[in-house]
Amino acid sequence: MACIEKIYSVSALVGNGACNAKCDFCAGEYLRPDAKENKLYDKNLEAAIKLSARYGGWSLSLTSSGEPTCDPNALTKALEIYNKCANQGAYFPNVNLFTNGILFGNKDYCDKYLDKWKSLGLNNIALSIHEVDEVGQAAIYGLKDYPQLEEIISNVEEHGLGVRGTLLLRKGGIDTAEKYEEAVKTLIDKGIDNITSWPVGNPNGTRTEYTPTRLNLHKIQRWLRKNAKMCHGHVWGGGVFDFKGNILRYTDYVTKHNPRKDFVRQLVVFQDGTVAYSWIKEGALCMK
C-alpha cells in the first residue's frame, strides 16, 4: 500500500439533479436519486476542498447528476463554501463549472449570476461540446435549438470569466483524428482556445456503444503527438499539449482509484454527502 502524496483536484456534484437536456448517453442519471438535501454535504465538501489543498490540489470542478445551472442557488452555496475555504488558505487556481451551456445563451441569466459566482472564486465555464455546430449540439441535447457558441462565449466573457471547451469523443460524432482536428480548429476560430477531450463511456470506466474504437482513439492521440507539443503528461494518462499557442488536453473520463499509487486524481463529492477517491465508489471511500 502507498501513502498519498498528492490529491490533484476535487469534483463536486451540486444541485437537485434537474436537467434541461435529454442525452441518450447521460452519465449522471443513475445518481439523481441522491440529489436531495443532505446535512453532511456542506461539511464534507468543505473537508474535501481543504484536504485536497493540503495535498497540493489545484482544481475544483462543479458538475451535477443533471445540469448544474438548473439549480443556481445550489451552485451559489457550493461556491460560498469554496470561498470560505479559499479565505482560510485552501485556494485553487482553477475553479471550473462544467455545463451544457444552454442557459448561458441567455444574457439575463448570465447578468443575474455570473458576477456573483466570479466574486466567490469561479473562473472558468467549461462547455460540453458534442458537435461544433449548433444544429448538431441541439440534436444531441434533444432540443429544437442550441444557442450560438459565439453568443455563449460573449455572454460569459463579458463577466470576466474564461470559456473552456470539453470536446467529447463519441462514436458517430467526433470519433476520428480527422474530425478531431477539424473540431479543434473550428472551436479555436470561434474563440475557445482551451480544449479538453475524453471519450464517452460508463461512469465505471467501461466502454459503451457510444465509445469510439480503440484504434480511432489511438489515432487521435497520435495526431496530438505529431501536431502539438506536449507540455506535460498526466500520471493517470494523457496530457496537456500546446497547439499553436492553444491548450489541448487529452484524458480519460474516469480513473479508478488504485490504493498502490501515491496520488489521487480527484476527490469526488457526491450529492448524498459521500466523498470518494474516484467516481467509482466501491473500494474508494474517503468520507461518509
At 186 the three-state DSSP class reads helix
86: its cell numbers: 479559499
Question: Into how many domains does the chain fold?
Answer: 1
pLDDT, one tens digit per residue, over 40-52 is 999 999 999 999 9
The answer to whether residue 91 is domain-embedded is: yes
CATH of the domain at 55: 3.20.20.70
pLDDT over 90 percentage in the chain = 76
The answer to whether residue 175 is domain-embedded is: yes
pLDDT, one tens digit per residue, over 6-19 is 999 999 999 998 99
pLDDT range class, residue 254, cuts 50, 70, 90: confident
Close Cβ partners of 17 (under 8 Å, ≥ 6 residues apart): 28, 31, 32, 35, 64, 65, 66, 271
The answer to whether residue 58 is domain-embedded is: yes
The answer to whether residue 70 is domain-embedded is: yes
At 168 the three-state DSSP class reads strand
The answer to whether residue 1 is domain-embedded is: no
Q: Measured over all CA atoms, what is the biggest interatomic distance in the chain, rounded to whole angstroms?
A: 52
The answer to whether residue 101 is domain-embedded is: yes
Q: Does residue 136 have a pLDDT over 80? A: yes
Task: Return the amino acid letter for 71.
Answer: D
pLDDT, one tens digit per residue, over 84-134 is 999 999 999 999 999 999 999 999 999 999 999 999 999 999 999 999 999
183: its cell numbers: 473540431
pLDDT, one tens digit per residue, over 84-94 is 999 999 999 99
The boundaries of the domain holding residue 41 are 6-287
Q: Please state, as a whole number, how many other Cβ atoms lie within 10 Å of the Cβ of residue 206.
A: 9
What phi and psi, each to the nearest 5 degrees, are found at residue 191? 110, 10
Instruction: Give pLDDT, residue 32.
Output: 66
Question: What's the whole-model pTM score?
Answer: 0.94
